[in-house]
């Protein structure tokens, strides 16, 4: 799951206003449900970064732990890894769109 956000950071680093925007690439899709927190008032940027990273880590670790004993065949493990990679790609693409959108 790491290559997509890291590739996004390499490609988009010139568009960052501050280094903490790199975390958008790890949690672009996750940002939308987290914006519900903005209804209750303003939160420090660090809170959003921590929540984004927790969701990303959960998506990386929980399926592996949950399905480790149930998946016995290599094709099933490949499907799990492909789903995680697709989720990470979607997060990175949405994060890149958020970064590009803020500068428009």
pTM for this prediction? 0.71
Predicted local distance difference test score (pLDDT) of residue 73? 79
Other C-beta atoms closer than 10 Å to the C-beta of 9 total 20
- Low-confidence residues in the chain, pLDDT < 50: none
Predicted local distance difference test score (pLDDT) of residue 2? 74
Three-state DSSP class for residue 100 = helix
Predicted local distance difference test score (pLDDT) of residue 11? 87
The Cα 57–Cα 63 span in angstroms is: 10
């Amino acid at each position: 799951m790491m290559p997509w956000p890291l590739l996004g950071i390499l490609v988009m680093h010139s568009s960052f206003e501050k280094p903490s925007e790199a975390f958008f690439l790890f949690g672009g899709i996750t940002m939308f449900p987290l914006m519900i927190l903005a209804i209750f008032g303003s939160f420090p940027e660090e809170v959003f970064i921590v929540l984004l990273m927790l969701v990303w880590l959960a998506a990386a670790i929980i399926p592996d732990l949950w399905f480790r004993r149930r998946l016995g065949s290599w094709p099933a493990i490949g499907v799990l890894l492909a789903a995680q990679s697709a989720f990470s790609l979607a997060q990175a693409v949405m994060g890149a769109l958020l970064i590009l959108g803020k500068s428009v």
